[in-house]
A and B are shown apart, each in its own frame.
Chain A
Amino acid sequence: GAGVSQTPSNKVTEKGKYVELRCDPISGHTALYWYRQSLGQGPEFLIYFQGTGAADDSGLPNDRFFAVRPEGSVSTLKIQRTERGDSAVYLCASSLNGYQDEQYFGPGTRLTVT
């Protein structure tokens, strides 16, 4: 079946601009996660959704970052007033129920802020 998909695959934006990154999870997965991976590092947790609600947003670095999942499926990560330090690969993952199950990752969106 179809895996997790993310769009766009690459995004180049200027400092100060607003960007939206989209994630389509595996159908039927109630849990959705966003991670950020900088070069040479492991993924770092940003936010976790169970259904439509953000159950844990403790990883969002500041209030410029926001994510939504209005219908419990597709999620959008929104970054306002982008900074060069936001450049990274943003990974989305989904899992069946968000308890002990494994997470399935999408290919990521590479964000470059110039």
Chain B
Amino acid sequence: AQSVAQPEDQVNVAEGNPLTVKCTYSVSGNPYLFWYVQYPNRGLQFLLKYITGDNLVKGSYGFEAEFNKSQTSFHLKKPSALVSDSALYFCAVRDAGGYNKLIFGAGTRLAVHP
């Protein structure tokens, strides 16, 4: 069965420092991977996805993610964090059953301190 793990409940980083939010996955077949961000009282916003191609995927708001097949990881990164990046981040994998059903991780809260 497909699954996603986000091993950190919370990540703390100082503004201006690089940030990494970790995600590992377990799938049968080729993985289709997504990152979403959730701000308070708002819906999930799409950041980026990996379907195929380059292992480094660039997305919205300066975020990028690195797909690593051997480590079954899809970590979210940003070179320089902003206080406004503070939010809840979700990694998701598309179900292998042929439809676009997403299986989400439990989420990681990112706190960027001034």
- A interface size (C-beta, 8 A): 29
Verify B43–A56 contact, CB threshold 8 A: no
The reply to whether A45 and B101 form a contact with Cβ atoms under 8 Å apart is yes
A102-B46 in contact given A48-B99, A48-B100 (Cβ < 8 Å) = yes
Our pick among B36, B43, B46, B99 for the contact of A108 (Cβ within 8 Å) is B43
Q: Which B residues are in CB contact (< 8 Å) with A50?
A: 99
- CA distance in complex: A106, B36 (Å): 13
**Docked complex: B67-98 residues within 8 A CB-CB of A:** 90, 92, 94-95, 97
Q: Which of A74-114 contact B (CB under 8 A)?
A: 91, 93, 95, 98-108
Residues on A with beta carbons closer than 8 Å to the beta carbon of B42: 107
Binary A-proximity of B28-70 (CB < 8 A = 1, otherwise 0): 0000101010000111111001010000000000000000000
Question: Does A1 touch B at the CB level, under 8 Å?
Answer: no
Chain B residues within 8 Å of chain A by Cβ, number: 26
Question: Is there contact, CB below 8 Å, between A100 and B32?
Answer: yes
Number of CB contacts from chain A to chain B under 8 A: 64
Residue in B46, B49, B99 whose beta carbon sits within 8 Å of that of A56 in the complex: B99
- Kindly list chain B residues whose C-beta atoms are within 8 Å of the C-beta of A98: 99-100
Tell me if A4 counts as interface (CB < 8 A to partner B): yes
Q: Which residues of B sit under 8 angstroms from A106, Cβ to Cβ?
A: 43
- Across the interface, which residues of B come within 8 angstroms of A59, CB to CB? 101
Is A43 in contact with B101, judged by CB distance below 8 angstroms?
no
Are A103 and B46 neighbours in the complex by a CB distance under 8 Å? yes
**With the chains together, A103 CA to B106 CA distance in Å?**
18
- A contact residues vs B (CB 8 Å cutoff): 4, 31, 33, 35, 40-45, 48, 50, 55-56, 59, 91, 93, 95, 98-108
Chain A to chain B contacts (Cβ below 8 Å), 28 pairs: A33-B101, A40-B106, A41-B106, A42-B90, A42-B92, A42-B104, A42-B105, A43-B44, A43-B90, A43-B102, A48-B99, A50-B99, A56-B97, A56-B101, A91-B43, A91-B44, A95-B100, A98-B100, A99-B100, A100-B94, A103-B100, A103-B102, A104-B46, A105-B43, A105-B44, A106-B43, A107-B43, A108-B43
